[in-house]
Structures are given as C-alpha cells and as structure tokens.
Chain A
C-alpha cells in the first residue's frame, strides 16, 4: 500500500494548502456566483497580496499592518477591474486580464525583484505557533479559525441591506436600477471584496511558505473555480450559508483530490491540466444531461400555472 502511505504523508500539507486556496475560492465565488460577472483578477491580486505582505514584512513591518495593506491592495485591484469594465464598457473578463497583466509588472516593483524570501522573518505562523511556523496540522487549525471569522463576516454582510442589494445587482441589473440601486457601486464593491479575499490568500500563502513569487498566481483562478464548482456539487448552493461554504469546503476537498492524484504518481506539473479538465467536465455535464433529458421526451411542455 505505497499509495496510502504517500497520501497520508501529503494529507496535512494538502489540508493547509486547501485552506489557503479557500480564500481565493471565496474571492472567485463572489464575482462568478453573486455578481454573475466572470472575473480573472484573482490571478493578479493573489500574487499582489503576497508581494505586498512579503515586501512589508521583510522590511520590518508588523504582520497585521502588512496583511492589512495586502488586503487593501487587493481590493483596489478588484475595484480597478470593475471600473475598467464599467467606464470603458469592456467585458469583465478582458478588464480582469488587463489588470492582472499590469499587476505582474507592479508586483515585481513592489518587491523590487521577482521574489522575496521571508525565512528569517516572523510570520503569522511563527508568531501564533512556534519558531518553525508550526506543523501543517497546526497551520491548518490557524487557517480554519481565520476562515471561520471570514465566512461569518461574509454571511452577516450578505444578509444586510447592502449585501442583499449586491445580490440583487448580480441577479438582475435592470430590476436593481429600477429599485434605486447603483449597479456601479455594487459591482465595484463586490469586485473589491473579491480582490481583498484573493490578496489575503496570497498574503497568507507567502507567510505559509515563507516566500513570495511573482508567478505564484498562475492557475489560481482555475483552482478557485474548480473548488467552487466542486463544493457546490457536494454541498449545494441554494442558501447563502451553502454558497459561502461551497468554495471553502470545495477547496479542501479539491486539494485532497490533488493529493490522491500525486500519490498515484502524477507530477505536480500535470495538475493544471487536471484542473482544466475538471472545470471543463463540470461545465459539460449539465449540457450533456440536458440534451439527454430533452431527447427522449418531446411531450414534456406542460402549460405553466
């Protein structure tokens, strides 16, 4: 049973990894699900958060202000995407690509180099756990606490007047305007929150691995999307609580699948192919299902009450 021993060795670290990407998955869920506005900015705001946190921590800043600035930077990136989309009537996808491309250069500027090591600095994990930054399991515990607070805050927000307004803008912009909601305001707010979440994920990742790299964002969007889709399939999305939990739990499950794939002998470099295939499959299944359902019963058009 070599597979099992390998997997058991990977398990703790894959849980911690999943918990970090849960932040990103939340940041992907908001535009894709709540706003119905596909947005790729996470690919740039994730490394942005890492770069800002790493640059500040390595120059002696405290962990809390470093993470606060990372969060703020991420929300600005999200807001910028929203503004490009709204002002210049560019699709949200293209607006996000523009921003993430620019962020690549900006992230190098922020760090002064393409990467920054934090090995000799205090991080969230060395401060809260031990000098080595804890074990994967204790790291996972810390991340779970953070995620719980975050999910609770998001749950509360989405049940406030402003949060409900954001969901209405995502559901039907025409109706939202007719009810006096500024669609601009809520699209900007939503993408800013999404950017803040992705950047927080990046800041946490940089501290977890004691290392920030300008390329660490490549593929995070697909991971976030895969986690969201997986979580929704497993846990549903019909209530706000489920819609929030889906990306978080989905990210944890997703990295278990990754660990299994790795222990079966897959190379880490194969993972992006696997993620892409998974998302493709998830998108294809409903379509295939619908076609099958439609084909055999042409007489199912009943009048609606």
Chain B
C-alpha cells in the first residue's frame, strides 16, 4: 500500500440531501457535510437527534443517493456506485441488531457471506474447512463462546451476540472503512460494554479507518482520534486527537451551543 498521497483515506465532500423535495414535508437532512479521514483514523460522530448522522453514513454506504457531493475512498470515486459495489471498500454495523446478520442462516454461513465481501461468488462450496477455521478464530476473539455454536442459527442469538457477530463479519475481511451507527444503542449496558470493548480491540491500533456514531458522550471523549459534531446536516465541530485532550462532556455541550448560536448569527 502506498502511503502519504493526498488521495489516501476517506474524503467526504459537500454532501447535500433533501427528503421529499418540493412538498410540505421537505426536509433538508444534509446541508454540505464535508470531512476527511486519514488512513487508520478512528473518528467518532456525535450530534442531536435528526442532525443527519445516520443519513451521512447511509450516503457513504450508498444506501441513499445524495443530491450532490462526493465520496472518495483511497482516490476511488464511489459517489455513483450502488451499495453492494461499495462493499468492496467498506463494511458496517447497524443500530438494529437484526439488520446486520441473516437470522435464518447459521453463524458460520453468515461469516462465509462476509468472508467474500466485495468478491464475486461462484460455484465453489460456501463452507470450506480452511475458512471455517478462520471463522473460529474470529469468534474466539469475541470471547462469547460463539465458536462452539457455529452451526446454530443466528436467530437463536441475543442482540449483543448478534452485534458482536456483525462486528466480526464486518472486520473478517479488513475493510478500508468501517461504519458504525450507534451499534450499541439497542443493547443493555452490559452487552453494550462488551460490544464496545470488542470494537476497540478491532479498531484501535490504527488498522481500520472507522467512523462511529454514538450518543454516549463518554465514549466519544474517551475513544477515537477525532471527534466530529453534527448539527442540522453539517459538521459544526471537528476536534483532532490533540484538541480532544482534556475535553469534558460539559465542554462539548458548551461548544455545541456556541456553534449553534454562531450559525444562527451567520444566517
């Protein structure tokens, strides 16, 4: 891999999206979202409800088409690619534990699907012995004992186990960008801690460029190399690792109010 070129990493430029344009329900969800992540950077996104965080992630993943703006990963323009073609570059863990896995398939079958993310599927056997060993190792790393249940249907797993599995699936084949949308929000506190720990284990170490949305200010301050704050479809605050030092939740709330009132003055 070449490093150091300007193109490397993730470049999100000036995303605009308006839902129901031209109707009474018109809603401007993205109003010029721009940011860049350098390779390996772990960015945490915070912001109030309806700020456009999920919409940004969906736009990056291609689940949603934007009105304008562009998404580049390592110099490749993904803006016009459908979601399934962007899977070559990125993987994601959803807020809803049901969304990231196929409930009627077994744990190993789910992992087999993700082992070939972004590659063509042929008529080879889907579950080969070598792969199954890789799956076992990935599951062992989660520490939930799932490696002993590889032939169980995912429907039998708890929400926390499903999220952990989704995380394992998202990182089994290393993505160039990992998208996490409040992936612990639907879990009870204990399961949420487990999944966050697993996330940090996989993501920290600077291997995987990551964009994580959270409502947990504590997580946002403690973890990650970057903190992005969104409001009304824009990034209103962007703190790098250095800026983040010593910031408290109260500071963030204050910065949020400052940023909002600044914007109100400007408008």
Contacts and interface: CB of A to CB of B under 8 A. Distances in A.
A174 B158 CA distance: 19
A178 B102 contact: no
A171 B127 contact: no
Contact of A164 (B63, B83, B109): B109
Given A164-B112, A180-B85, A181-B113, A171 B159 contact: no
Nearest to A163: B126
A167 interface: yes
A304 B159 contact: yes
A161 interface: yes
A168 B84 contact: no
B253 to A, nearest CB: 33
Contact of B122 (A162, A167, A172, A304): A162
Interface in A188-233: none
B169 A179 contact: yes
Given A162-B121, A164-B126, A168-B105, A179 B159 contact: no
A178 B123 contact: no
A175 interface: yes
Interface stretch (B16-24, B86-94, B237-245): B86-94
Q: Which of B112, B116, B118, B121 has the most CB of A within 10 A?
A: B121
Interface size class, chain A: 20 to 34
Nearest to A237: B104
A118 to B, nearest CB: 36
Interface in B198-233: none
B102 A177 contact: no
B122 A161 contact: yes
B99 interface: yes
Contact of B87 (A165, A170, A172, A179): A179
B102 A183 contact: no
Contact of B104 (A157, A171, A179, A180): A171
Interface in B92-136: 92, 94, 98-105, 109-110, 112-114, 116-119, 121-127
A175 B100 CA distance: 5
A165 B122 CA distance: 10
A294 interface: no
B122 A160 contact: yes
Interface size class, chain B: 35 or more
A112 to B, nearest CB: 39
Contacts of A159: 125-127
B146 interface: no
A177 B113 contact: no
A168 B173 CA distance: 18
Contacts of A113: none
B159 A172 contact: no
A172 B166 CA distance: 13
Contacts of A174: 63, 94, 99
A165 B121 contact: yes
Q: Which of A162, A178, A305 has the most CB of B within 10 A?
A: A178
A161 B102 CA distance: 15
Contacts of A177: 63, 82-84, 87
A303 B191 CA distance: 13
A182 interface: yes
B118 A180 contact: yes
Nearest to A162: B121
A7 to B, nearest CB: 38
B12 interface: no
Given A180-B84, A304-B159, A167 B118 contact: no
A165 B113 CA distance: 7
Contact of B117 (A172, A179, A303): A179
B239 to A, nearest CB: 29
Contacts of B101: 172, 175
A163 B109 CA distance: 11
A304 B110 CA distance: 22
A164 B109 CA distance: 7
B59 interface: no
27 contacts: A159-B125, A159-B126, A160-B123, A163-B126, A164-B121, A167-B105, A171-B102, A172-B99, A172-B102, A172-B103, A174-B63, A175-B100, A175-B102, A176-B102, A176-B113, A177-B83, A177-B84, A178-B100, A179-B113, A180-B117, A180-B118, A181-B84, A181-B87, A182-B82, A183-B84, A304-B159, A305-B158
Given A162-B123, A172-B101, A304-B159, 9 more contacts: A161-B116, A164-B109, A168-B105, A172-B102, A175-B99, A176-B113, A178-B92, A181-B87, A304-B158
Interface of B: 61, 63, 82-85, 87-88, 91-92, 94, 98-105, 109-110, 112-114, 116-119, 121-127, 158-159, 169, 188
